[in-house]
Amino acid sequence: MKYRKGDTLIEVMLAVGIFSMIAVAIVSVMSEGTSSAQTALETTLTREEIDTQAEALRFIQTSYIADRNSASEKYQKIWETITGRAIDLSEPNANAEQNAFLQFSPSSCGELYGDKWVQDKAFIIDPRALGDNEKEAVRTFSGDVFKEATTYPRLIYASNGTIENSNSLVEDKDTTEYNLYQAEGIYIIGVKDPGNTRKIDNLDSGATQSAYYDFYIRACWYGSDANEPSTISTVIRLFDPAIME
């Protein structure tokens, strides 16, 4: 009877070691792929929220222009609300601190909500309230609406204890009353144009009106397994309908 030679302990350990290294490499690649896909999804959803806010700002401006020859003052009042909160860089107290704030390079998302400029000047627009005279379309830091992002920047709506975000679909939405519950990780800061003003003819001779406003739409959140904040910021420039011919 012939005896077959088996694998030695060293050979077995070597095989297990090679298999383990390959398995770890595969799991690492899969994990990185999943993390990249999650980051891409969060970034896409965040950009959608930012685009929604940008379109809401444009809608307010164009609706104000369209209503100038009518008795409606709804969008004029909304426009005056958001521009009334704008940072005025032409004021004597405008300084490097304001300019540094506008650079938007936070070391953490949490520090944004403790910033005095955010607390005093930031706002968010509720797109669903723009067509409803009974609802407040512009929300500020008064109250508990603004929060850090728990997943990605988004607007969250609630009705009778049921919560949804602005990207989700809800059955019977036409018959369900949803109100803005929280704005997580996203807000808008307006900045008044300091260099281009014109005299307002129907007011006193010294009154001037800013030609345009820059609206900084900002988002901050922590991605999958990230210790550093992810940020997206965009700016749109809108001319003041009050001075447009």
- 39 near 224, Cβ under 8 Å? yes
User: CB–CB of 139/183 below 8 Å?
Assistant: yes
Count of Cβ atoms closer than 10 Å to residue 95 Cβ: 10
Cβ–Cβ under 8 Å, residues 154 and 187:
no
pLDDT the model gives residue 169: 43
What's the pLDDT at 205? 43
pLDDT in tens, 223-238: 877 788 999 999 999 9
Q: Tokens at residue 1, please? A: 């009877």
82 falls in which pLDDT band (50, 70, 90)?
very high
Say if strands 154-159 and 138-140 run parallel, antiparallel, or are unpaired. unpaired
Percent of the chain with pLDDT over 70: 76
Least confident window among 6-20, 94-108, 144-158, 197-211: 197-211
At residue 15, does pLDDT exceed 70?
A: yes
pLDDT per position as a tens digit, 108-136: 998 888 888 888 899 999 998 998 877 88
Distance CA 71, CA 69 (A): 7
Does residue 31 register a pLDDT over 80?
A: no
Higher pLDDT, 177 or 203: 177
Q: What pTM, to 2 d.p., does this model score?
A: 0.76
Q: By three-state DSSP, how is residue 218 classified?
A: strand
Query: Does residue 51 have a pLDDT over 90?
Result: yes
Q: Is the model more confident about 23 or about 7?
A: 23
Q: State in Å, rounded, how far the first CA of the chain is from the last one.
A: 107
Dmax over CA atoms of the chain, in Å, equals: 117
Angle (nearest 5°) at CA 221 between 217 and 226: 145
For residue 32, is pLDDT > 90?
A: no
